[in-house]
A and B are shown apart, each in its own frame.
Chain A
C-alpha cells in the first residue's frame, strides 16, 4: 500500500476535530434543553402538589372567587384559594391591551412600509426598535407617575386597576407588535402591490384588499406574540394594578393578575405549605399559557403556509 492509501484509511485530524466539535456543541444544546425540561418539571410538580398533596379540587382553584391563601375561611374550613379573580385580571389586561394596540400597530406599520417608506425606514424603524428594548420597570414607573394619576383624575378612586394596567401594557407591547408587523408587510412580494395598482386600485384598496390580506397570518402572529408578552409581564403590571385579589367589577377598581400575586407572594410564604403551593400553581398556569401562545403561533404559521 502506498502512503496515500494508508493515510486515507487512518482517522484524520479533521475527523477527530469534528467529533470533538459535535460533542461539545451537542452538550451545550443538551444543557439548554435540560434547563427547559427542568423548569417545566419543577414548576409542574410544585404546581400540581396543591391538588395532590393538599387535596384542593381543581375546579375550586380555577373557578373559586375568593383568593386569600393565608386566611382560613371559617365557613368552608379551607383557605381562600380561588384563583379566578387573578386569571380574569390577567386575561383582561392582556386582551384589552392587544385590542387597543392592534389598530395602532397596524396603522403605524402600514405608514412605515406603504406610505412614507423613506421616513419610515430612516426615523421610525430605529425608534420602534429602540423602544422594544425598554425595560418593563420603566413602563411601570411611567404608569405610576403618569397613567395612574390621569386615571384617578378622570374616573376617581385610586387610579390603580385594570384600566391602568391595560394602558401600560398597551404602550409596552405596541413597539413589539409594530416591528413584527413591519417585517411581515415588508415580506409581501412587490408584484402584489404592482398588480393591484396596475388594475386601477387606489392605494388604500391595495393596502386593505391585497397587502393586509396577504399579511394576515404574520400580523396575527405579531398580536399573539404581544399578548404572550403582556400575559407574562410581571413588574410593570404589578406596579399599577392595585394588587387587590378581588373579582374585578370595574376597570378602575384595584385588581390583581397571576404575575402580580406571584411577585408579591413568593417571598412571604414557607416552602411546602399550601400557601406556597398555590403560588406555584399560579406559576403553572403562566407556564401552560405560554405553551398555548406558542401553539397558537405555530398553528397560525401552518395555516399561513397552506394559503
Chain B
C-alpha cells in the first residue's frame, strides 16, 4: 500500500526536506523586459482581506498562467490588474506599467484599460452585428474611414482565428455566434484597440474541447505581439501554453516560476500537492 501511494506522486521525490513555504521567481530586469509588475498588492472586500502579497513581474511577449483552486484569489488578482475590481473591492499596493503606478488615483482608468485589455470567462459580445462589435469601441473615440475599419475587422478576426467562419456574414448579430466563436470575437474586439497586455479570465472554460484547443493555438499565435496573463483552472492548458506559471492558494501567491519548472520540479510542497492532484 505505501509503495503504491508513493508511485502516485512521483514528483515528490524532488522536494527537499527543507522545502520553502513559498517561492517567487526573481525576474532579472536586465535580461527580461518587464511589461507589468505588482508590489504589495492587497484586495479587501469590506473588511475581509481576500488577497495579499502578490508581488509578481510579468515578462513582455510571454504567456503567464495563474492557477489555483477556485477561491484562491487568482481571478481577484487578475481583475485588479486593470482595476476591474474598483467598484466592488478596495485594492491597495502598486501596479507598475511603463513606469507608472496604475493603481493610483491620478491614473485615468478608462484610458489605461484600452492598453490593458481583458477577456472574461463568459463571452460577452454586444447585441450588435459582428462588424459593429469590433468597430464600436474604435469609432466612439476616433475617426476612421470605412476602408480602415474593414481592414481592422479583417486583421483582428484573422488574429482571433474567426475570419474564415464569419467573413460572409459580418452584419449578422453577434448573439447568433456559438460560445467558442463569440469568445474569439470578444478577443478580436479587444485586439482592435491594439492593447499592450491582454488579461484573460478563464477564457476557455465555457468552450468545448475542440474550440478550446483552437483557442490555445490562437493564444500562442498572439504571443508574438502581446503580453498575455491568463487565469485557468485547467493545469494541462497552463502547462501547454504558458511560459510562466503562478500558483495561488488562499489569497497568496505560493509559487511563481517558469512553467516547465513548476510542473516538473516545484519548490514548494503545496504546489506539488496541487499539480499532482493531491490537494485538499
Chain A: which residue is nearest B115 at the CB level?
A: A4
Q: Assess A15 versus B110: contact at CB under 8 Å? Given A4-B115, A4-B196, A8-B115.
A: yes
A77 at the interface (CB under 8 A from B): no
As a 0/1 sequence over residues 1 to 35 of chain A, the CB contacts with chain B under 8 angstroms (1 = contact) are 11011011111111100100000000000000000
Shortest CB-to-CB span from A118 to chain B, Å, is 30
B107 at the interface (CB under 8 A from A): yes
Q: Cβ of B108 and Cβ of A15 under 8 Å apart? A: yes
B112 at the interface (CB under 8 A from A): yes
B46 at the interface (CB under 8 A from A): no
Q: Give the docked Cα–Cα distance between A1 and B111 (Å).
A: 16
The residue from A5, A10, A14, A15 contacting B100, defined by CB atoms under 8 A apart: A5
Chain A residues closer than 8 Å to B100, beta-carbon distance: 5, 8-9
Q: How many residues of B contact A (CB 8 A)?
A: 14
Q: Cβ of A9 and Cβ of B108 under 8 Å apart? A: yes
Q: Cβ of A8 and Cβ of B102 under 8 Å apart? A: yes
Q: Give the docked Cα–Cα distance between A10 and B112 (Å).
A: 10
Q: Give the docked Cα–Cα distance between A13 and B107 (Å).
A: 13
Chain B residues closer than 8 Å to A2, beta-carbon distance: 98
Q: Cβ of A8 and Cβ of B196 under 8 Å apart? A: no
Shortest CB-to-CB span from A5 to chain B, Å, is 5
Q: Cβ of B108 and Cβ of A5 under 8 Å apart? A: no
Shortest CB-to-CB span from A56 to chain B, Å, is 52
Chain B residues closer than 8 Å to A10, beta-carbon distance: 108, 111
* Secondary structure dominating the interface of B: loop
Q: Give the docked Cα–Cα distance between A13 and B141 (Å).
A: 8
Shortest CB-to-CB span from B200 to chain A, Å, is 21
Q: Cβ of A11 and Cβ of B108 under 8 Å apart? A: yes
Q: Cβ of A5 and Cβ of B106 under 8 Å apart? A: no
As a 0/1 sequence over residues 94 to 108 of chain B, the CB contacts with chain A under 8 angstroms (1 = contact) are 000011101000111
The residue from B99, B102, B111 contacting A7, defined by CB atoms under 8 A apart: B111
Q: Give the docked Cα–Cα distance between A14 and B98 (Å).
A: 21
Chain A residues closer than 8 Å to B99, beta-carbon distance: 1, 5
Shortest CB-to-CB span from B221 to chain A, Å, is 24
Chain B residues closer than 8 Å to A4, beta-carbon distance: 98, 115, 196
Shortest CB-to-CB span from B111 to chain A, Å, is 4
Chain A: which residue is nearest B116 at the CB level?
A: A8
Shortest CB-to-CB span from A213 to chain B, Å, is 35
Chain A residues closer than 8 Å to B108, beta-carbon distance: 7-12, 14-15
Of the candidates B102, B106, B108, B109, the one having the most CB atoms from chain A within 10 angstroms of its own CB is B108
Q: Cβ of A14 and Cβ of B110 under 8 Å apart? A: yes
Shortest CB-to-CB span from A17 to chain B, Å, is 9
Shortest CB-to-CB span from A252 to chain B, Å, is 60
Q: Cβ of B98 and Cβ of A12 under 8 Å apart? A: no
Q: Give the docked Cα–Cα distance between A5 and B100 (Å).
A: 7
Q: Give the docked Cα–Cα distance between A38 and B248 (Å).
A: 55
Chain A residues closer than 8 Å to B98, beta-carbon distance: 2, 4-5, 8
Shortest CB-to-CB span from A8 to chain B, Å, is 5
Shortest CB-to-CB span from B34 to chain A, Å, is 15
Chain B residues closer than 8 Å to A15, beta-carbon distance: 108-111
Residues of A53-93 contacting chain B, CB below 8 A: none
Chain B residues closer than 8 Å to A14, beta-carbon distance: 108, 110-111
Shortest CB-to-CB span from A125 to chain B, Å, is 28
Chain B residues closer than 8 Å to A11, beta-carbon distance: 108
Q: Give the docked Cα–Cα distance between A150 and B111 (Å).
A: 73
Q: Give the docked Cα–Cα distance between A100 and B112 (Å).
A: 63
Q: Cβ of B141 and Cβ of A8 under 8 Å apart? A: no
Chain B residues closer than 8 Å to A8, beta-carbon distance: 98, 100, 102, 107-108, 111-112, 115
Shortest CB-to-CB span from A167 to chain B, Å, is 49
Q: Give the docked Cα–Cα distance between A192 and B52 (Å).
A: 43
Chain A residues closer than 8 Å to B106, beta-carbon distance: 9
Shortest CB-to-CB span from B261 to chain A, Å, is 33
Q: Give the docked Cα–Cα distance between A160 and B240 (Å).
A: 85
Chain A residues closer than 8 Å to B112, beta-carbon distance: 8
Of the candidates A2, A4, A8, the one having the most CB atoms from chain B within 10 angstroms of its own CB is A8
Q: Give the docked Cα–Cα distance between A296 and B102 (Å).
A: 49
Q: Give the docked Cα–Cα distance between A8 and B98 (Å).
A: 10
Chain B residues closer than 8 Å to A18, beta-carbon distance: 110
Q: Give the docked Cα–Cα distance between A18 and B115 (Å).
A: 19
Shortest CB-to-CB span from A264 to chain B, Å, is 53
Please report A residues at the B interface, Cβ cutoff 8 Å.
Answer: 1-2, 4-5, 7-15, 18
Please report B residues at the A interface, Cβ cutoff 8 Å.
Answer: 98-100, 102, 106-112, 115, 141, 196
Q: Could you list 28 examples of A-B contacts with CB < 8 Å? A: A1-B99, A2-B98, A4-B98, A4-B115, A4-B196, A5-B98, A5-B99, A5-B100, A7-B111, A8-B98, A8-B100, A8-B102, A8-B108, A8-B115, A9-B100, A9-B107, A9-B108, A10-B111, A11-B108, A12-B108, A12-B110, A12-B111, A13-B141, A14-B108, A14-B110, A15-B108, A15-B109, A15-B111
Chain A to chain B: the 8 pairs with minimum beta-carbon distance, closest first: A14-B110, A12-B111, A12-B108, A5-B98, A12-B110, A8-B112, A8-B111, A7-B111
Known contacts A4-B196, A7-B108, A15-B108; 11 additional CB pairs below 8 A are A1-B99, A4-B98, A8-B107, A8-B108, A9-B106, A10-B108, A13-B141, A14-B108, A14-B111, A15-B111, A18-B110
